[in-house]
Amino acid sequence: MADTVTNRGMEGGSKTGTGMGNDPAIKDRLSNAASQVTQKASQVSEKVSNVAGQVSDKVTTAAHDAMDSARGMVQDQPITTPRPEHREGVVARTLEMQTAKIPSDAWLWAAFGSIGLSLAFELSGREKTANFIGHWAPTFLIFGLYNKMVKLQGSDGQ
């Protein structure tokens, strides 16, 4: 018993024919088409994988080049050693060794404290005292900066 299929055309007419499910030629064509689609999908997947690998290689190469360039820039800077006649004196080295024991944020808190104390004197009407104490803040910050440089580089920039 054959399956019948009704196809309606654009004009609204109908055609009746045998079902496509039992036709071996159509089954072969569908099987071939499915096989071709699978092959194409495999080829596309392989190409995408190759392109992704190439992009990954290029990104890795660019990153290595950038790191090498950065290393070259750092190494291009002169490495200086102080001359013996320019070395720090005994008093400066002793003072720097003692102040290096002070935490760096102590200088920051001293600056904030002088700002707060200056504000308190200003609000109490003692403007000259407030102005005098307010000028301590940048001095404390510069001391802190100097202290940090000595801790990081040593007193003779070593």
Question: Which has the minimum average pLDDT: 36-50, 52-66, 84-98, 102-116?
Answer: 84-98
C-alpha to C-alpha distance for 138 and 106, rounded to whole angstroms: 14
72, part of any domain: yes
| 68 and 104 housed in the same domain | no
C-alpha to C-alpha distance for 113 and 144, rounded to whole angstroms: 14
Its pTM surpasses 0.75? no
Structure-token pair, residue 157: 């920039």
| 70 and 93 housed in the same domain | no
Q: What is the pLDDT of residue 114?
A: 92
4, part of any domain: no
Domain count, the chain: 2
| 40 and 94 housed in the same domain | no
Q: Which domain holds residue 23?
A: 14-76
| 69 and 105 housed in the same domain | no
Mean pLDDT value across the chain: 76
**Dihedrals φ, ψ of 83, to 5°?**
-75, 150
Contact 38/24 with Cβ under 8 angstroms?
A: no
| 111 and 62 housed in the same domain | no
Q: What is the pLDDT of residue 25?
A: 85
The stretch 23-46 carries a mean pLDDT of 84
Q: Where are the alpha helices (DSSP H) in 77-135?
A: 90-99, 104-123, 127-134
125, part of any domain: yes
| 70 and 19 housed in the same domain | yes
| 120 and 144 housed in the same domain | yes
C-alpha to C-alpha distance for 146 and 96, rounded to whole angstroms: 9
What's the pLDDT tens digit per position in 42-58?
888 888 888 788 888 88
| 114 and 146 housed in the same domain | yes
| 102 and 132 housed in the same domain | yes
Greater model confidence, 157 or 57: 57
| 71 and 21 housed in the same domain | yes
136, part of any domain: yes
Q: Is 80 left (phi over 0), alpha (psi -120 to 50) or beta?
A: beta
The DSSP secondary-structure symbol of 12 reads S
Strand duo 4-8 + 14-18: pairing: antiparallel
| 122 and 146 housed in the same domain | yes
In three-state secondary structure terms, 44 is helix
In this predicted structure, the answer to whether residue 101 has a pLDDT above a threshold of 70 is yes
Contact 91/79 with Cβ under 8 angstroms?
A: no
The identity of residue 16, as a single letter, is T
